[in-house]
Homo-oligomer: A and B are copies of this chain.
Amino acid sequence: MDLKVIQPGALNRPEPQTPIFPKVGIVGLGLIGGSIAIAARQLWPASLVIGVDNKDVLETAMRLHAIDVAADDPYVLAEADLVILAAPVRQNIELLAALDENVTQPAVITDVGSTKRAIVDAARELPPRFTFIGGHPLGGAAKGGLENARPDLFTGRPWLLTPTRDNGEAIEKLTAFVKALGADPRVVDVATHDRLLAFLSHLPQLTASALMHVVGNAVGAQGLGLSGKGLADTTRLASSPPEIWRDIAATNADEIGPALDELIRVLQDLRRDLPQGDKLADVFTDAADWRRTLKP
């Protein structure tokens, strides 16, 4: 009988593939950037994953085998053929301006930020050797940071892409890259992205944080000791890192504003209607219908 020696874990490891981008530079190794790095190293052992962040984060990244090359200066991106900006939105916009002096080769540039109009506008100033395609992997987790990064973070989740001009083969290569990470790439219009995300993500985030702030200060630690799964679920997003959300709010204020106005209007209606409950029954019934269409 012919016995094959199988290394532990080998069955679950994907077959090594020819890299779509031989040199992948990732600036910002948080939950998203870190997860992309780990996944890319597993998928394409022949590719080079270059990580840029501060020294503490880089140390963790090397310890987790998330990257091949670590530097706290973007000059290491010189030969990258894909650069992924994975810092908070306004830092990504500043990083764009520094690409010309650091990346010497033609390269595809993308980002993973939660708003798209501001960075897409800024990317119009890039020299023609760069092709910028905005990106936004949906999903994530309430707990950010490199220590929560994992290669399957994007599995089955949409990854929105916002190409804005004729990108030649760049969009095809980026789409293949995103698919290889397990995500479901979808091309959307930049303005549609920002409006949609204002409702799907930014409004729930602001609501969860405002609610936790109000409830915590009203009842204190002792009162919170009596709270249950309902409050915990509704406020889970309130754990999100403030620094990311400051940038999102600033770069999508004109879409988040009207979404907040609409929520405030409905809350004011409910407040007026508390003793009768007619409007409340309407809103609750409609909300329960929508909620049934979401995953549990």
Contacts and interface: CB of A to CB of B under 8 A. Distances in A.
Contacts of A250: 274-277
Contacts of A293: 216, 221, 224
Contact of A238 (B142, B212, B276, B290): B290
Contact of A287 (B199, B212, B232, B291): B212
Given A200-B227, A261-B271, 4 more contacts: A209-B284, A212-B290, A233-B233, A238-B288
Nearest to A197: B226
B238 A223 contact: no
Q: Summarize A's interface: helix, strand, loop or mixed.
A: helix
Nearest to A206: B270
A199 B228 contact: no
Contact of A207 (B138, B239, B242, B267): B267
Interface stretch (A42-50, A52-60, A170-178, A252-260): A252-260
Interface string A173-208: 000000000000010000000001001110111111
A281 B234 contact: no
A203 B214 contact: yes
Contacts of A286: 213, 216-217
23 contacts: A139-B228, A200-B227, A201-B230, A201-B231, A203-B211, A206-B270, A207-B211, A208-B234, A209-B283, A209-B287, A209-B288, A210-B266, A213-B283, A213-B290, A215-B290, A234-B234, A234-B237, A235-B287, A238-B284, A242-B285, A249-B274, A249-B275, A250-B277
Contacts of A71: none
A64 interface: no
How many monomers of this chain does the complex have?
2
A185 to B, nearest CB: 12
A268 interface: yes
B200 A226 contact: yes
A276 B196 CA distance: 22
A218 B204 CA distance: 13
A16 interface: no
A246 B281 contact: yes
A165 interface: no
A292 interface: yes
A215 B239 CA distance: 21
Interface in A150-174: 157-158, 160
A229 interface: yes
Contacts of A221: 293
A219 interface: yes
A228 to B, nearest CB: 5
Contacts of A256: 271, 274
B260 A267 contact: yes
A296 interface: yes
A93 interface: no
